Amino acid sequence: DAGITQSPRHKVTETGTPVTLRCHQTENHRYMYWYRQDPGHGLRLIHYSYGVKDTDKGEVSDGYSVSRSKTEDFLLTLESATSSQTSVYFCAIRDRGGGTGELFFGEGSRLTVL
């Protein structure tokens, strides 16, 4: 199993509160990703990182920010959570960029925004 730990695994919060999800890896992989999964949409990329302090936006980045201060940790922050951000969030890692390298996923974090 890829060494990926997501926390918290479940969270219920209220609209307008800040939320931070953490992804921790023990594989020393360069690339890390945050996806959200919603019914009818599959998985959609929120943000990704290609190194410490190097991040870029994905297709659904509005309302989210990320930070990566260490190789092993990638944080996803919802500054002011909304009900539309209720979803299951998956972190993924990959060792190589370009046209090679497999994605491996964490176990997911279920977020409910009331």
Partner 1 sequence: GIQVEQSPPDLILQEGANSTLRCNFSDSVNNLQWFHQNPWGQLINLFYIPSGTKQNGRLSATTVATERYSLLYISSSQTTDSGVYFCAGSNTGNQFYFGTGTSLTVIP
Site membership for partner 1, residue 102 (CB under 8 A): yes
What number of other Cβ atoms are within 10 A of residue 10's Cβ? 10
Interface of this chain with partner 1, residues 46 to 65, rule: CB under 8 A: 48, 50, 56, 58-59
Q: Which amino acid is at 11?
A: K
Retrieve residue 30's tokens.
């360069």
* Site stretch for partner 1 (CB under 8 A), options 20-28, 36-44, 64-72, 77-85: 36-44
Distance CA 39, CA 24 (A): 26
What number of other Cβ atoms are within 10 A of residue 43's Cβ? 16
Site membership for partner 1, residue 89 (CB under 8 A): no
53/100 with CB nearer partner 1: 100
Retrieve residue 60's tokens.
């659904």
Q: Which of 10, 14, 82, 103 binds partner 1 (CB under 8 A)?
A: 103
Q: Which of 33, 34, 64, 89 binds partner 1 (CB under 8 A)?
A: 33
φ/ψ of 32, rounded to 5, equals -135, 150
**Contacts with partner 1, residue ranges (CB under 8 A):** 31, 33, 35, 40-45, 48, 50, 56, 58-59, 88, 90, 97-105, 107-108
